[in-house]
Amino acid sequence: DAMVIQNPRYQVTQFGKPVTLSCSQTLNHNVMYWYQQKSSQAPKLLFHYYDKDFNNEADTPDNFQSRRPNTSFCFLDIRSPGLGDTAMYLCATSRELAVYEQYFGPGTRLTVT
Amino acid sequence: KQEVTQIPAALSVPEGENLVLNCSFTDSAIYNLQWFRQDPGKGLTSLLLIQSSQREQTSGRLNASLDKSSGRSTLYIAASQPGDSATYLCAVNNAGNMLTFGGGTRLMVKP
């Protein structure tokens, strides 16, 4: 049974055209994360939500925003995608912060043309 | 700032070999360490989670050890199979559940 679901799995968008990626979870976890993984690189944390509290990493570009309307869903909005935003975007959840395991979704592969 | 290094970056072995993947980290003040598997173009599958108070965890043919004081973890894969071919990532959990990932080890197991 899928626990962390990401849609779409593949997305192609044009340079500068806003795009939204979706993540949902059936685990009822308090924390949801968004990571960016560029080709042949390690995943890099963009931001996370603890319940409704949003926490942005210091070096996450302003172009990236996130919304969490309820416990189950979290969205990643890229306002004006650039070619350098082509990457795999991974959503993850954990029950709480600190010692808990993170569960990852299958990812959305975004291509900016 | 936490830095995580994985050695080797790539590994090719014949089927049946036992192998060890290495992960080192610079800041030993961690909550836990996770090992993940990633198939090409796919998301991350969690393999093992070791809490900072633990020395090792086992799941099937996989065994992960943690030496927090020296900043090292190893993932041992017994009797490797072609289906084990993937990239293996270790990630360290510091304050606030922020994972810092290593660069990964690309494993190829040849039939």
Query: What value does the mean pLDDT take over residues A29-44?
Result: 93
Which tens digit of pLDDT belongs to each residue from B53-81?
999 999 999 999 999 999 999 999 999 99
pLDDT of residue A89: 97
Given CB atoms, is B98 within the 8 Å cutoff of chain A? yes
The beta-strand segments (E) located in chain A are 4-7, 10-13, 19-25, 31-37, 44-50, 53-56, 64-67, 73-78, 87-94, 103-104, 108-112
Cα–Cα distance measured from residue B55 to residue A61, given in angstroms and rounded to the nearest whole number: 38
Alpha-carbon dihedral sign for residues B4, B95, A93, A21? negative
pLDDT bracket for residue A2 (50, 70, 90): low
Q: Block means of pLDDT (10 residues each) for chain B, length 111 residues?
A: 93 96 95 94 92 94 96 97 97 82 96 94
pLDDT of residue A3: 92
pLDDT of residue A101: 87
Phi, psi dihedrals of residue A19, rounded to the nearest 5°: -140, 145
pLDDT of residue B1: 85
Query: Which residues lie below 8 Å from residue B46, measured CB to CB, with a gap of 6+?
Result: A101, A102, A103, A104, B34, B35, B36
Given CB atoms, is A76 within the 8 Å cutoff of chain B? no
pLDDT of residue B26: 95
> By the 8 A CB rule, do B99 and B34 touch?
yes
- Name every chain B residue with its beta carbon within 8 A of the beta carbon of A101: 32, 34, 46, 49
CA distances from B6 to A24, A41, A70, B11, B111 (A): 31, 12, 37, 12, 25
pLDDT of residue B13: 96
Which tens digit of pLDDT belongs to each residue from A54-100?
999 888 999 999 999 999 999 999 999 999 999 999 999 999 887 78
Mutation site, B6, B38, B44, interface A, largest A CB count within 10 A: B44
- Name every chain A residue with its beta carbon within 8 A of the beta carbon of B64: none
Cα–Cα distance measured from residue A13 to residue B39, given in angstroms and rounded to the nearest whole number: 24
pLDDT exceeding 90 applies to what percent of chain A?
84
Stretch 23-82 of chain B: residues touching chain A, C-beta under 8 Å: 31-32, 34, 36, 41-46, 49, 51
